[in-house]
Chains A and B, each alone.
Chain A
């Protein structure tokens, strides 16, 4: 837990956290799109038919 140390402004630390946040958003949208796009076909190839999962 971070506790309550009062963080001072540090641009480098802010960029690090911003990069993680940006990647998280990007991955959420990207993998979500990929799942919709190739998910059913991938499942068909793996299981051999339609599934509702």
Chain B
């Protein structure tokens, strides 16, 4: 029987044998992804899997390593939110339990509908209704607020949790459903355990039914149905991603789908980038850069399309163009974030100097 040390040495040594050039490329790419994640609060990690696919990694390794990277990123982000007191572990624990049951029922429903030959059509309709509904609700809320201060996430983070206004729909639910036991959450929110379980079950059901991670459903559900303050919803959602990402990575790792030669340098770069991106939010108006972000998403979509066509037709240069496009777009946006932040800081500094004199 092999000793634990031998096992560790085999596992880590076997996967960390990448060339220095490749390691440097992954650290650099991680830095870019981290800046985007830290600044926009999302987007970035979704670039990893397509980029790995375009680099010629098998789908299993691209998805598995991408998931392990998301797991590591979620751990770091959760630690940060924990330090700021924005993770509600009680809410997270109940949500994990309810979501788990919901996912299983959702998966069973898909198998049942598949047998009836109705799965494809129903899933597409639910997807459109759900995305449209969430989009409309968030947009209406944004329009009803004071028009967006646009000062980045840090102003929000500095606010006391109890100062967050609870959406009307959440207030109505809290006042109407008073079935014990009642649960006290961060931000002075008191809600019935059954409401949390119902929300968790419903989001898990949709997640299992649609085969998606569920963050885009879970976060608005925590805000609009439970009444959790936005930072708590974000922090608690990240805490859930630690679990789902951890289990997903473990399952992919069992099948040899997690390559530490990819994940370790990516995480090394992204943890630094996330700090830079996060700090930039306090000095730059995110709305001004959102146009670049949209452009990056479009460029990413075009890149994946070009790469796929190249791969289908066996034209290698198209695959390379696709890779250059997706990496180039991400680098340009990350550079724009850093450049705009430094310019803004310098401008503030030069304005303050004469005033100080």
Contact = CB atoms under 8 A, between A and B. Distances in A.
Given A13-B254, A15-B7, A23-B72, A3 B103 contact: yes
B271 interface: yes
B12 interface: yes
A12 B13 CA distance: 12
B174 interface: no
B76 A2 contact: no
A17 B267 contact: no
A37 B249 CA distance: 34
B272 interface: yes
B246 A17 contact: yes
A9 B247 CA distance: 12
B106 to A, nearest CB: 9
B212 A1 contact: yes
B250 A17 contact: yes
Interface in A1-53: 1-5, 7-8, 10-17, 19-21, 23-25, 27-28, 31, 35, 43, 46-49, 51, 53
Interface in B1-45: 4, 7-8, 10-12, 15
Nearest to B213: A1
Contact of B349 (A8, A14, A25, A48): A48
Contacts of B245: 2
B80 A20 contact: no
Contact of B258 (A16, A27, A28): A16
B289 interface: no
Contacts of A43: 345
Contacts of A25: 75, 79
B143 to A, nearest CB: 30
Given A1-B207, A7-B254, A49-B349, A24 B75 contact: yes
Interface of B: 4, 7-8, 10-12, 15, 68, 71-73, 75-76, 79-80, 100, 103-104, 107, 207-208, 211-214, 244-251, 253-254, 258, 260, 263-264, 267-268, 271-272, 275, 279, 282-283, 342, 345-346, 348-349, 352-353
Given A2-B251, A3-B103, 4 more contacts: A16-B15, A21-B75, A31-B272, A49-B349
11 contacts: A1-B212, A7-B254, A10-B253, A15-B8, A15-B12, A16-B253, A17-B249, A21-B246, A23-B72, A23-B268, A48-B349
